[in-house]
Each structure stands twice: as structure tokens, then as C-alpha cells.
């Protein structure tokens, strides 16, 4: 066994083997995989191993398609069968919402060249004569869908990796991982130690135990999961081809051919957790006792749809464990607080995602960053707040609703609240409807008396659409008070603060006390890793405001520049709260509560001051994400309620009041402002998103070389504002954009109704050669083409007159 390696993968399930293979493929051939038992000894061996391309996230869908297309290549390359059957998958829509979901997926497939299209009932009956299609309103077909052999795939990766020089050691449990002072790791095994710069935790069911060896706590918990296989079905035995699988997600089961029978699996409402306090070390190839009663409802729906299931006897039941994260997406990526420790844990559709996951993991380690925006997978989307109680509640909910549609603005309630601000109860008492943002409860909108006090969900306009409109118009006409406590806030103090920030961020830091600047943070590939507002509060004190959801994500970048001596960096997100008071009357509103002059000559745009508002010390910044005249007032968390009450009291007789973050999102779209993880992500280049003007090439900053290499290249796509002719639904993000002749040219990143301007709007990236004002396009809202046009300028205050007034 090697005593040194470029990377050590722990776990020989399908995921560990795929990562090993992809690392070797990208040129790291000096890599080792350690497996405590035989390969496939966790969830892998007993998986139903269905493969699908459908996912609500476009990038995840692209990676699933990569995976589906890889199997045949892998077989050809290694000579090892993956047991691939690709007779296709039929997706059934019983409801209008499901039809919208499938049509949207079909439109995305057209944009990315993925195989997914509608078929008629006649065609579907020909493809699968055993299905009763009554009551189905739309049928899609994915020709590459099907299933694989779990151990065949795992072994094919192993063969491919070994052929490139990787080592695999079975029956070699890892007993410890120890971080060394030089940034490398020692991986201890029963057969000796290996020193390595990269440890990869792909220990599946034992992901928590392996993580704990490095002091990491992962929000994961296993559940049981069952499927059964029928005896031979005569009609299938008589066929000379394989039947497509059936994705009847409204029926909440999956179904496919297995041998000459059918396999049916279900995510039942009455689910069961397993090994909550830790996966037993000795657990191996065991299964749990069958409990088909639990999935009876799902089975009955399957029988109704495919009567042959009920006519055949049951040959075999598999009830095995799988391990889940709170949102059922993988916990992926380098642990932000550590050097050289990569997690890939909590994968549910492992056979749809293993290839994409291996590829992205390898890119991240070998090249420094994945080529796609993976924030939906990034483990940094959870922080210390995602404890055991939260995780269990969310996993229970995820499991039970595995096949439910998750709508664009959906806010699941399980496990909440987990983090609240002092004003939470007050906000609740005035009708606050809350969403979850990096664990924080934050008000989305406020129900006025007589308005619904809960949200409905759907792809089209819902019951919150009017109340949110009322708030947005109130702000545009008078003023609104938006809780922005969930923004991330950092303080950097000390003699080296300015130089550290200059070394990190791409813009030049303000030289004068009281000035602010906007700045991008540049990623390893030259794209946008973040966007921040930096304010110089004193000679040696800066306040940085960024995306709250990306707080842990950004630690990876902040850690790359060593802090100079006597300089301190601290997160102030928990300690500080804030309100954005914006709208034409915002000045009058705040002025009633402070002696400081808010007149433009005393307090211009992009300036800051420490002022007292209603007797409370605040850092006031004259900026507003609404695009309107406005200030951000940041105070100590303990003062939040008093500040809020003072502001609300004054608002009362000015036609102003509380506004939630959903209206804020609509308002910033009217102004064409981008937002982190939507318009700004490492996938986009500054010259594409319009941020290049904020980059100062006459100084050094993080990843300057990568940006310099891109800076001379023409933009591939450009960020634009679109007006969409839509009257029952607005774009929400992810909708593809086509030219009128059907040529795909881009994708929506955010969408909303612009209540202040009376138009349905979207932001999105469009191929640079057609990204010009007036260009006619089609946006696939609800998956159907909607006539739209690219606007020459944002519809609200394009010259920034109100902002500076
Ligand atoms: C009943 C059932 C049906 C399923 N059906 C499907 C399906 O149809 N489609 C689909 O895509 N997915 C399906 N899955 C999910 C799929 O099985 C998983 O997503 C996938 O197997 C996860 O693989 P993994 O490599 O992450 O983990 P695992 O398979 O759990 O592998 C982890 C490996 O790490 C090893 N290990 C642990 N600790 C150590 C240590 N200390 N040292 C060395 N090695 C260690 C283990 O022995 C194990 O081999 C199903 C799962 C179940 C339970």
C-alpha cells in the first residue's frame, strides 16, 4: 500500500469509486481508495439503481444526463459490464402542476440537448402496453432512462481507475484521519498510514462516523427504504424487448421491469428512521424485515396504474438503509473550515448522479473549482444551526414527500423555527409569513387583516401575489421597512484591514472613512464567487455585507488570504440586525427619528455614518437593494425590536409599513440588480454579469490571474432584463429562453412581477450576439413559450435619479 497519495478516498460505494475514477481521469493517478469491506458494502449493493435525468435544478439535471450517458462509455473503456438497460422512462402527469413541471423540463432539455420529449397516449401505450393511462393529462418520454447494475457500475469505475494507476484496498477500514500542521492529512488504517493533501469522505451510510474522525458533524440521518420485485409476468415474458420504466410521481411510487417481472418502490408517508445515533460499525450486507403494509397505499396506486403488478405474486422484498441530508441533496465539497477535506455524503439518487458527482468532485480538487455552479449541492449551505432535531424533522419531511413537486417559492415548515431574531414574535403578530434563509426565519410578506395567513404553492401566481404587490407598491409610492438581518455581516479591524481586503476583493477598498464600495469576489476560474458592499467605518475598521446564504461558502475564499498581524476578522451576522428603509418617503421617515441630517448634501448615496435612530445606535448606509431612495440601518441584535417599533410607529401616518423579502426580490428585478446564486455565481464571468467595471486590474486580488485570462475574451452570454407577456404566472428562475424560431439562447435566473412598473419581468443570461435591447425572444414560463423582449434598460429608475435624490 502506498504511504503517500495525492488523494485518499474513504468508501468503495458507487460514489467513492466514481470520484476515484474521475480524479484519475483528470490526471491525479497517484490516488488511493480504502474500503472497510468488499466494494458496494453500504447502500450501493441493494439499490434499485433506476436512472433519471429529471431534476428541478438545471445543473443537477445536466449532471444526471452526463451520468446516464457515461455508462456505455465506461463499459467500452473498461470491458466491465454496467448492466445498463436504457429502454427509456415514461413520466406521467396527473395534475396541472405536474404538467407544468414536465413541460418546463422538456424546454430545458431543448436548451441543453438532453433527450426528453412529449409523446401521445397512443405512442405511450405502444411503448408500455401494461400501463393504464386513464386520467393522465401529459406524458413525457426520456429515451435514456432505465436502470443499471449497481455492482457492475461500481466495479467498472474501479477497473477504469486502476487502469489509470489508482490503488484500491478492500478490507481496509480507515480508523482515523488526522490533520497535520503542514496542511496534509494522515489517514490511519488497520494496514498502515497514508499521508495525503486530500481526504475524501465517501463513506455513505458511515459518512457521519468518518466525518467525526476529523471533528466534523454532518447533518445526516438514515432511513429505511423498500421496493419489491414480482414473479414473472406472462406478458413481459412474451416480449422481445424491455419495457420503459414508469415515473408516476403523483402516484408516489417508481416502477420498472426487473427480469421478467416488475419492480415497484415507494417513499411512504409513514416512514422509518434508522440508526439515528450512528450507523453500527458491524453493519454489512444485512437488510431489514419487510414491511409492505407501510407502502400499501403506494402499492395500490401502482396496481391501479399497472394492473399486472397486482396479479403477479411478490418474489422478493428489499428493505435497506439510505442516508439523507435535510433537503435530500448531497453534502458536497471541501469543508470550509478545514484544508484538504472533501465531503460527498447523503446521496439519494446515487445512480442518476454518481458520474456528475465524480466529475465535479475531481474538477474541484484538481482544478480548484467545479465548472458548474453547485450551490444546491454545496455542503456550505448548512451551518452549525442544522443540528440533529432540525435534520431529523427535515429528512422525515423530505422522505415522505420525495415525489411531491417542490415549487419555486415553497417554504417547508418541518423543523422550524431553528434560528430567530428578536423581532420574530413581533413580526408574527403583525401577519409575518416566514421563509428560511441559512437557518434564519425571515419575513417574506405580511398578511394584512382579511388576507390569507398562510401560503399556497404552485408554478402560477399564488395567494401571496396580491399582498406582495401591495407591499411593493407601498414602498414605491411611500416607504417600506424591510428586515435585512439575514444579510451576512463581517467586521475587519486592525492596521492590516485595508490591505487584507484589497488582497481579497477585486475592487479597491474605500480610502475615506464613511465611504462604501461594491465589489466582486473572484473565483478560481475567474467567475463571480461573491458580491459585497464594503464600508470604511473608521481608519482601521471595515464592515462587509454579503449574501447570508453564502456565509459559510465565502469562508473558503476568506481563508485563502492570511490575516495580517493584529488584524481581526469576525462574523457579525448573529450579533447585528438590520432594516432597509426605502421609498420616496424613507428620508422623511428616518429623519423624524434622528438628529443627523439625511439631506443628500450631508448624506450622499454610497456613504455611511454612525447615527442614532429612535435612540438606538445604528450604522446607516445609504444604499438600497430596492433601487429606490433608501438607507440600511444596522444595529445590535438586542436593539432590533426597539428600532423596528420606532420605525413602524412613524410609518403609520405616512402610508408606509413593513415589507417582506419577496417584495424586495421583485423590486430589485425592476431595477435590474443581480443577486448571489442567481445572477452572480462562479459560472458567470464579470464581463457577462456587468460587474467588470468594478474590477481594478492595477492591484492584486484573489484569483486575479484567472480573471486576467478571461478579461480579453468576449462574453459568451450577457445578463439582461426581460419583459414577459405573462398573465397567470411569472418566471421564477430556470426557464429557458429561445429566439422566436425556437433556437435556444439563454436561461432565466430570476423572475417576478414588477409591481411598481406593472410588467412581468425576468433577469437572465442570453447569448451575447442577441443580447440587445428590443430583441424578441420566447421565455418558457410553465414550459410554454411566452412572447418576451429584452429591455434596453431596467424599467425602474434606469438613470439612478431616485437612488441619488
Ligand atoms: C432500497 C434502496 C433502493 C435504492 N434505489 C435507488 C435507485 O433506484 N436509484 C438510485 O439512483 N439510487 C438508489 N438508491 C440509493 C443509492 O443506493 C445510493 O445513493 C448510493 O448507493 C450511495 O452510494 P455511496 O457510495 O454514497 O454510499 P455507500 O453505498 O453506503 O458506500 C459507502 C462505502 O463506504 C465504506 N466505508 C464506510 N466506512 C468506512 C471506513 N471507515 N473505512 C473504509 N470504508 C468505509 C462502506 O463499507 C461502503 O462500502 C437506493 C437505496 C436503497 C437503500
Q: Which residue has the CA at smallest separation from atom 3 of ligand 1?
A: 47
pLDDT of residue 181: 97
For residue 227, which atom of ligand 1 is closest to its CA? 1
Any ligand 1 atom below 6 A from CB of 35: yes
Distance 41 CA to ligand 1 centre (A): 7
CA 535/CA 634 separation, integer angstroms:
12
Any ligand 1 atom below 6 A from CB of 10: yes
Any ligand 1 atom below 6 A from CB of 11: yes
Which residue of 206, 258, 279 sits with most ligand 1 atoms within 8 Å of its CB, as the best mutation to test the pocket? 206
Region 403-416 average pLDDT: 96
Could you tell me where the DSSP H helices lie in 215-289?
A: 234-237
Any ligand 1 atom below 6 A from CB of 253: no
Distance 330 CA to ligand 1 centre (A): 12
pLDDT of residue 711: 86
For strand 630-636 and strand 657-659, is the pairing parallel, antiparallel, or unpaired? Answer: unpaired
**Closest residue by Cα to residue 663 from 475, 478, 487, 532:** 475
Which residue of 8, 17, 44, 292 sits with most ligand 1 atoms within 8 Å of its CB, as the best mutation to test the pocket? 44
Any ligand 1 atom below 6 A from CB of 308: no
Q: How many C-beta neighbours within 10 Å does residue 120 have?
A: 9
Any ligand 1 atom below 6 A from CB of 42: yes
Beta strands of 523-615 (E only): which ranges? 528-538, 541-546, 568-571, 576-582, 608-613
Which residue of 42, 51, 70, 361 sits with most ligand 1 atoms within 8 Å of its CB, as the best mutation to test the pocket? 42
Give, in degrees to the nearest 5, the angle at Cα 776 between 771 and 779.
90
Any ligand 1 atom below 6 A from CB of 168: no
Instruction: Say if CB 311 and CB 230 are below 8 A apart.
Output: no
For strand 245-248 and strand 331-334, is the pairing parallel, antiparallel, or unpaired? Answer: unpaired
**Closest residue by Cα to residue 354 from 689, 594, 69:** 69
Q: Which residue has the CA at smallest separation from atom 48 of ligand 1?
A: 42
Give me the percent of the chain exceeding a pLDDT of 70. Answer: 100
Distance 463 CA to ligand 1 centre (A): 41
**Closest residue by Cα to residue 759 from 627, 675, 660, 667:** 667
113 CB burial (10 A radius; 0-12, 13-18, 19+): exposed
CA 52/CA 428 separation, integer angstroms:
41
The pTM of the full predicted model, rounded to 2 decimals, is 0.97
**Closest residue by Cα to residue 718 from 775, 803, 801:** 775
pLDDT of residue 247: 97
Cα 44 from chain centroid (whole Å): 25
Any ligand 1 atom below 6 A from CB of 646: no
Q: How many C-beta neighbours within 10 Å does residue 776 have?
A: 11
Grid coordinates of 431: 401577519
- Cell 411566452 locates to 786
For residue 351, which atom of ligand 1 is closest to its CA? 11
Name the β-bridge partners of 265.
227, 254
Mean predicted lDDT score pLDDT of the chain: 97
Residues 325-343, buried b or exposed e (16+ Cβ, 10 A)? Answer: bbbbbbbbbbbbebebbbb
Distance 159 CA to ligand 1 centre (A): 19
- Cell 445543473 locates to 59
Q: Which residue has the CA at smallest separation from atom 26 of ligand 1?
A: 204
DSSP for residue 511: S
Q: Which residue has the CA at smallest separation from atom 10 of ligand 1?
A: 349
For residue 189, which atom of ligand 1 is closest to its CA? 42
CA distances from 662 to 308, 433, 443, 445, 466 (A): 48, 10, 8, 6, 12
pLDDT digits (tens, 9 = 90+) for 176-206: 999 999 999 999 999 999 999 999 999 999 9
Polymer length in residues for the chain: 805
Q: Which residue has the CA at smallest separation from atom 52 of ligand 1?
A: 47
pLDDT digits (tens, 9 = 90+) for 249-278: 999 999 999 999 999 999 999 999 999 999
Q: Which of 42-56, 371-385, 470-484, 602-616 has the lowest mean pLDDT?
A: 42-56
Q: Which helix (H) or strand (E) holds 659?
A: strand 657-659
Q: Which residue has the CA at smallest separation from atom 18 of ligand 1?
A: 350
CA 65/CA 71 separation, integer angstroms:
11
Beta strands of 692-783 (E only): which ranges? 717-724, 736-738, 744-754, 759-767, 776-781
Distance 12 CA to ligand 1 centre (A): 9
Region 603-611 average pLDDT: 97
pLDDT digits (tens, 9 = 90+) for 527-574: 999 999 999 999 999 999 999 999 999 999 999 999 999 999 999 999
For residue 203, which atom of ligand 1 is closest to its CA? 34
CA-CA-CA-CA torsion for 314, 319, 325, 327, nearest 10 degrees?
20
For residue 349, which atom of ligand 1 is closest to its CA? 11
Which residue of 14, 40, 350 sits with most ligand 1 atoms within 8 Å of its CB, as the best mutation to test the pocket? 350
CA-CA-CA-CA torsion for 780, 783, 784, 789, nearest 10 degrees?
-10
For residue 173, which atom of ligand 1 is closest to its CA? 42
pLDDT of residue 54: 84
Any ligand 1 atom below 6 A from CB of 210: yes
Grid coordinates of 419: 434560528
Grid coordinates of 462: 399564488
Beta strands of 352-509 (E only): which ranges? 432-437, 440-446, 480-483, 488-493
Helix axes 350-362, 58-78, angle to 10 degrees: 90
Any ligand 1 atom below 6 A from CB of 203: yes
CA-CA-CA-CA torsion for 168, 169, 171, 177, nearest 10 degrees?
-100
Any ligand 1 atom below 6 A from CB of 346: no
Q: How many C-beta neighbours within 10 Å does residue 419 have?
A: 19
Which residues, including other chains, have CB under 8 Å from residue 77's CB and lie 6 or more apart? 160
Distance 34 CA to ligand 1 centre (A): 15
For residue 38, which atom of ligand 1 is closest to its CA? 49
Distance 349 CA to ligand 1 centre (A): 10
Q: Which helix (H) or strand (E) holds 802?
A: helix 801-804
Instruction: Say if CB 224 and CB 205 are below 8 A apart.
Output: no
Q: Which helix (H) or strand (E) holds 397?
A: helix 388-400
237 CB burial (10 A radius; 0-12, 13-18, 19+): exposed
Any ligand 1 atom below 6 A from CB of 350: yes
- Does residue 157 sit in helix, strand or coil? helix
Q: Which residue has the CA at smallest separation from atom 37 of ligand 1?
A: 203
Any ligand 1 atom below 6 A from CB of 41: yes
Distance 345 CA to ligand 1 centre (A): 9
Distance 386 CA to ligand 1 centre (A): 23
Which residues, including other chains, have CB under 8 Å from residue 139's CB and lie 6 or more apart? 90, 91, 92, 93, 118, 119, 120, 121, 124, 133
Any ligand 1 atom below 6 A from CB of 173: yes
CA 338/CA 297 separation, integer angstroms:
46
**Closest residue by Cα to residue 781 from 460, 417, 416:** 460
**Closest residue by Cα to residue 536 from 639, 451, 440, 608:** 608
Distance 14 CA to ligand 1 centre (A): 7
**Closest residue by Cα to residue 150 from 201, 63, 202, 83:** 83
Instruction: Say if CB 620 and CB 578 are below 8 A apart.
Output: no
Residue 285 has pLDDT above 90, yes or no: no
CA 318/CA 224 separation, integer angstroms:
10
Which residue of 1, 8, 13, 15 sits with most ligand 1 atoms within 8 Å of its CB, as the best mutation to test the pocket? 13
Q: How many C-beta neighbours within 10 Å does residue 612 have?
A: 13
Residue 313 has pLDDT above 90, yes or no: yes
pLDDT digits (tens, 9 = 90+) for 578-594: 999 999 999 999 999 99
DSSP for residue 365: I
Any ligand 1 atom below 6 A from CB of 138: no
CA-CA-CA-CA torsion for 107, 109, 110, 116, nearest 10 degrees?
-100
For strand 138-142 and strand 89-93, is the pairing parallel, antiparallel, or unpaired? Answer: antiparallel
Would you place residue 712 in the very low, low, confident or very high pLDDT band (cuts 50, 70, 90)? Answer: confident
Q: How many CA atoms lie within 13 A of 526 on its CB side?
A: 16
Q: Which residue has the CA at smallest separation from atom 25 of ligand 1?
A: 13
CA 475/CA 118 separation, integer angstroms:
44
pLDDT digits (tens, 9 = 90+) for 79-100: 999 999 999 999 999 999 999 9
Cα 149 from chain centroid (whole Å): 29
Instruction: Say if CB 189 and CB 34 are below 8 A apart.
Output: yes
Distance 457 CA to ligand 1 centre (A): 33
- Does residue 452 sit in helix, strand or coil? coil
| Peptide bond between residue 510 and the one before it cis (omega within 30 degrees of 0) | no
pLDDT digits (tens, 9 = 90+) for 728-767: 999 999 999 999 999 999 999 999 999 999 999 999 999 9
Region 616-629 average pLDDT: 97
Q: Which residue has the CA at smallest separation from atom 14 of ligand 1?
A: 47
Distance 384 CA to ligand 1 centre (A): 25
Region 604-619 average pLDDT: 98
Any ligand 1 atom below 6 A from CB of 222: no
pLDDT of residue 339: 97
Distance 153 CA to ligand 1 centre (A): 12
Distance 331 CA to ligand 1 centre (A): 14
Distance 5 CA to ligand 1 centre (A): 24
**Closest residue by Cα to residue 561 from 369, 438, 704:** 704
**Closest residue by Cα to residue 124 from 85, 84, 92:** 92
Any ligand 1 atom below 6 A from CB of 660: no
Amino acid at each position: 500500500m502506498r504511504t503517500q497519495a495525492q488523494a485518499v478516498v474513504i468508501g468503495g460505494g458507487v460514489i467513492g469509486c466514481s470520484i476515484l475514477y474521475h480524479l484519475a481521469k483528470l490526471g491525479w493517478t497517484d490516488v488511493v481508495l480504502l474500503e472497510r469491506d468488499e466494494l458496494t458494502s453500504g447502500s450501493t449493493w441493494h439499490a434499485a439503481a433506476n436512472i433519471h435525468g429529471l431534476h428541478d435544478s438545471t445543473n443537477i439535471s445536466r449532471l444526471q444526463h452526463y451520468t446516464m450517458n457515461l455508462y456505455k462509455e465506461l463499459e467500452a473503456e473498461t470491458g466491465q459490464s454496467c448492466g445498463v438497460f436504457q429502454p427509456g422512462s415514461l413520466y406521467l402527469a396527473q395534475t396541472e402542476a405536474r404538467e407544468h413541471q414536465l413541460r418546463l423540463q422538456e424546454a430545458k432539455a431543448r436548451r441543453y440537448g438532453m433527450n426528453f420529449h412529449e409523446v401521445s397516449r397512443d405512442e405511450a401505450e405502444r411503448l408500455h402496453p401494461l400501463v393504464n393511462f386513464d386520467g393522465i393529462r401529459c406524458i413525457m418520454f426520456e429515451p435514456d432512462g432505465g436502470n443499471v447494475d449497481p455492482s457492475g457500475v461500481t466495479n467498472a469505475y474501479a477497473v477504469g481507475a486502476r487502469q489509470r494507476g489508482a490503488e484500491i484496498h478492500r478490507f481496509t477500514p480507515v480508523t482515523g484521519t488526522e490533520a497535520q500542521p503542514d496542511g496534509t492529512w494522515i489517514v490511519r488504517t488497520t494496514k498502515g498510514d497514508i499521508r495525503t493533501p486530500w481526504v475524501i469522505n465517501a463513506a455513505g451510510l458511515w459518512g457521519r462516523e468518518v466525518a467525526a474522525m476529523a471533528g466534523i458533524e454532518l447533518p445526516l440521518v438514515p432511513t429505511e427504504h423498500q421496493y419489491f420485485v414480482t414473479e414473472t409476468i406472462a406478458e413481459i415474458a412474451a416480449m422481445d424487448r424491455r419495457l420503459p420504466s414508469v415515473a408516476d410521481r403523483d402516484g408516489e411510487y417508481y416502477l420498472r421491469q426487473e427480469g421478467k417481472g416488475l419492480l415497484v418502490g415507494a417513499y411512504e408517508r409513514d416512514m422509518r428512521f434508522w440508526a439515528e445515533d450512528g450507523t453500527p460499525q458491524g453493519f454489512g450486507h444485512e437488510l431489514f424485515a419487510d414491511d409492505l403494509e407501510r407502502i400499501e397505499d403506494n402499492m395500490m396506486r401502482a396496481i391501479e396504474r399497472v394492473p399486472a403488478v397486482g396479479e403477479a405474486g411478490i418474489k422478493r422484498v428489499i428493505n435497506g438503509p439510505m442516508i439523507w441530508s435535510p433537503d435530500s441533496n448531497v453534502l458536497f465539497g471541501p469543508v470550509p473550515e478545514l484544508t484538504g477535506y472533501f465531503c460527498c455524503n447523503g446521496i439519494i439518487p446515487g445512480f442518476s448522479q454518481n458520474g456528475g458527482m465524480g466529475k465535479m468532485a475531481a474538477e474541484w480538487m484538481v482544478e480548484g473549482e467545479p465548472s458548474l455552479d453547485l450551490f444546491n449541492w454545496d455542503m456550505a449551505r448548512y451551518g452549525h444551526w442544522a443540528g440533529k432535531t432540525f435534520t431529523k424533522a427535515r429528512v422525515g419531511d423530505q422522505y415522505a414527500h420525495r415525489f411531491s413537486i417542490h415549487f419555486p417559492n415553497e417554504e417547508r415548515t418541518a423543523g422550524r423555527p431553528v434560528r430567530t431574531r428578536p423581532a420574530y414574535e413581533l413580526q408574527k403578530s403583525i401577519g409575518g409569513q416566514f421563509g428560511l434563509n441559512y437557518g434564519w426565519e425571515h419575513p417574506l410578506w405580511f398578511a394584512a387583516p382579511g388576507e390569507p395567513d398562510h401560503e399556497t404553492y404552485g408554478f402560477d401566481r399564488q395567494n401571496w401575489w396580491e399582498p406582495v404587490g401591495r407591499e411593493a407598491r407601498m414602498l414605491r409610492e411611500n416607504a417600506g421597512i424591510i428586515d435585512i438581518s439575514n444579510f451576512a455581516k463581517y467586521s475587519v479591524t486592525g492596521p492590516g484591514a485595508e490591505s487584507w481586503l484589497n488582497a481579497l476583493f477585486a475592487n479597491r477598498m474605500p480610502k475615506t472613512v464613511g465611504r462604501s464600495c461594491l465589489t466582486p469576489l473572484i473565483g478560481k476560474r475567474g467567475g463571480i464567487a461573491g458580491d459585497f458592499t464594503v464600508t470604511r467605518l473608521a481608519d482601521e475598521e471595515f464592515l462587509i455585507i454579503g449574501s447570508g446564504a453564502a456565509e459559510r461558502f465565502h469562508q473558503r475564499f476568506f481563508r485563502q488570504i492570511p490575516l495580517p498581524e493584529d488584524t481581526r476578522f469576525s462574523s457579525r451576522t448573529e450579533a447585528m440586525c438590520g432594516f432597509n428603509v426605502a421609498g420616496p418617503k424613507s428620508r422623511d421617515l428616518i429623519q423624524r427619528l434622528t438628529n443627523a441630517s439625511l439631506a443628500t448634501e450631508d448624506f450622499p448615496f454610497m456613504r455611511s455614518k454612525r447615527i442614532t435612530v429612535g435612540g438606538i445606535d445604528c450604522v446607516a448606509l445609504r444604499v438600497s437593494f430596492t433601487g429606490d431612495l433608501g438607507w440600511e440601518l444596522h444595529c445590535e441584535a438586542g436593539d432590533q425590536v426597539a428600532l423596528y417599533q420606532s420605525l413602524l410607529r412613524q410609518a403609520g401616518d405616512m402610508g408606509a409599513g413593513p415589507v417582506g423579502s419577496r417584495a424586495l426580490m421583485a423590486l430589485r428585478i425592476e431595477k435590474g440588480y443581480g443577486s448571489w446564486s442567481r445572477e452572480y455565481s462562479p459560472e458567470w464571468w464579470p464581463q457577462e454579469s456587468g460587474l467588470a467595471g468594478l474590477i481594478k486590474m492595477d492591484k492584486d486580488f484573489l484569483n486575479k490571474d484567472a480573471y486576467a485570462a478571461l478579461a480579453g475574451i468576449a462574453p459568451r452570454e450577457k445578463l439582461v432584463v426581460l419583459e414577459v407577456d405573462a398573465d397567470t404566472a411569472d418566471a421564477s428562475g430556470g426557464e429557458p429562453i429561445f429566439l422566436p424560431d425556437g433556437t435556444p439562447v439563454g436561461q432565466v435566473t430570476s423572475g417576478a412581477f414588477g409591481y411598481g412598473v406593472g410588467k412581468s419581468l425576468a433577469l437572465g443570461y442570453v447569448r451575447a450576439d442577441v443580447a440587445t435591447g428590443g430583441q424578441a425572444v420566447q421565455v418558457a414560463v410553465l414550459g410554454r413559450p411566452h412572447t418576451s423582449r429584452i429591455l434596453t434598460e431596467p424599467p425602474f429608475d434606469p438613470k439612478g435619479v431616485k437612488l441619488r435624490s
